[in-house]
Structure formats: structure tokens, C-alpha cells
Amino acid sequence: MKILVTGGAGFIGSHLVERLLREGHQVWTVDDLSTGKKAFLNAIISHPRHHFVHGTVLDRALLKELIQQVDLIYHLAAVLGVKNCVEHPLKVIEGNIDGTRNVLELAYPERKKVIFASTSEVYGKNSRLPYREDDERVLGSTAIHRWCYATAKALDEHLCFAYAKQGLPVTVLRYFNAYGPRATATAYGGVIPRFVTAALKGESLEVYGTGEQTRCFTYIADTVEGTFRAMSPTADGFVINIGSNRPIAIKRMAEMVKQLAGSDSPIVTIPYERAYGRGYEDMMHRQPDLTRARLLLKYEPKVDLETGLTETIRWYRQLLTDGRSDR
């Protein structure tokens, strides 16, 4: 199959491209390298079935040309990260909505299936656990920039299902805290990259808030497995949670990283206000219901947290040994 991956030089995208090539597909990768890195594709950049295009999903002419050549589109290109939401909300809103609209509008006449990468952020502050795909969303005030990413992604989902109603094959995947090699602290902004970087550099591991908040972290191999399986027609017209359903407190995560890295770094708690400014809101717990993923995709996360963290730390240690930063 001929497949387009937008954001294919990013953390999840680069791993997905490698998987698609291993499965025998022909892949076009488009990325503007604003957060992705061409180095992430070094192992397959010259693969005879891989075509890298330095470009953006905001370029409609380029996107139209690429979509006409393929059978299916994975739309992973996005502007993400809590820090971006707080500091550059307009960039987050326009970057996510405009790009997704372009992909859907151009895929529709060709009836090319679109698999859209969404986020667990859309559930917002809903306290009902575990999150089912049809649960209500509970978001904060529109004056709080924290929620602009969740809002933009939710609107993207609405666009997906509006086009699905018109006959476009669409699947929406809601990722839960993917981590692993290539999830860099500067580009991806996740808590695990921050902790691992600090632990290996002998710096303080900064836990925002009380550290009692819990999340379910998903190793990249499991994230990619669910993403790959979404090609199945059984997933058409559905939104599906992709993640692990084993929660861990953020402070406990910091302790695990410190132990596995053999680090003497201190663990300190930082008020949200100091990290993100006044008015920042967060949710205490977040956990997916994987019933639909199991039913439609036969998906089951397999990599335990200790194994995944060990691999992630090994990748970062090599990065630092080679004298490179994660920038």
C-alpha cells in the first residue's frame, strides 16, 4: 500500500514510518522539521520505498500532490505541548485546525482513508474513570490557554466525523502519554523526557504540582502497534483510545527514573504557577478504557513501564555520550 505520514519525522511518526516500511508498504513522509528531526529517519531515509518531503500540511498544493499518489493518510503533524499552549496559543490553534482541515478537504474527493492522531487531552477535567471514547468532555474556561490544544484537537475530531458522514473513511486515535526513544524534552515536552534528561545530567527532577496526580504512560512500540492496526476497515468511523491502562503517580515516576538511571539527582516539587504561570489547570487522574481498542483492533499494550523506561534511558544516555543535546 502507498501511505502518506504527515509529521513523519517526529517522535511517533518516525517510529510509525519504520514499522510501515518493515511491513512492505511504500511511504511518503512529509515534515516541516519544526519539532521533528530528519535524523530520526536516518536508518530508513534512503530506503527504496521511502520518500521524504520537507514541507508542511499548510501547503495545500504540496499536500494535494502527495495525497493523489497514496492510498491512505496518517495525519500526525501537530503543534503540541503544554508549554506551547500556555505561551503560543494562536500557534497551537491555527497549526492544528488548519492542517487537519487541509488533509481532510484534499483526501475527501479521492476518498482516501485518514487516520487522525488525537489526544487524551480532549477528555479535559472529566473525573469519571476510565475514559470511554463516548464520555463527555469537561474543559476549563476559554480564557485559560491550557485548554486550547484540547479544544483544537476536539474540533479536528469534529471535522473528521463531519467528513466521515459524507463518506470519507476516517479513524481517530486518542493517544495517552506516549514515551520512548526520540520523545525529546524540548520538542515533545513530556514528563518522562524531562525526568530522564535531568537524571542523566545530575540536575533536579522537577515534579509539577503535588506529584500525586496519576497518568498512564504508553511505550512507543505499543503506541505504534495500535496506530498501525488502525488501517483495518473495522476501525472506520470510530474514535479509539490507544494507551496503557496502568496508572502511576508522577512523583513515583520520578523515583523510578532516578533509580533506573542510577542518578543522585534530587526530586523537587514545583508549583504549577511557577512552571506555567497563573491560572494553569490540570487534572488529577487520567486513564483510558481500552475495551474498544481490544474489540476493533485486537490491541493490548505489552511493554511494562520498567522495560520501557530502561530503553528510553539507554537512548538518552547514548545521545548525551555522543555529545548531542535533544534539541
Which residues have a catalytic role annotated? 149
CA nearest neighbour of 225 among 281, 301, 172, 290: 301
Partners of 30 in the β-ladder? 6, 53
In this structure, how many other beta carbons lie within 10 angstroms of the beta carbon of residue 244?
27
Question: What Å distances lie between residue 99 and 58, 64, 78, 94, 167, CA to CA?
Answer: 5, 12, 8, 8, 20
CA angle, 113 as apex, 107 and 116 as ends, to 5°? 90
Q: Cα(14)–Cα(45) distance, rounded to whole angstroms?
A: 10
Residue closest to 4 by CA, chosen among 17, 22, 18? 17
DSSP 147: G
Assess contact for 137 and 154: CB atoms under 8 A: yes
Torsion, Cα 155 161 163 166, to 10 degrees, reads -150
Look up cell 477535567; give the residue. 125
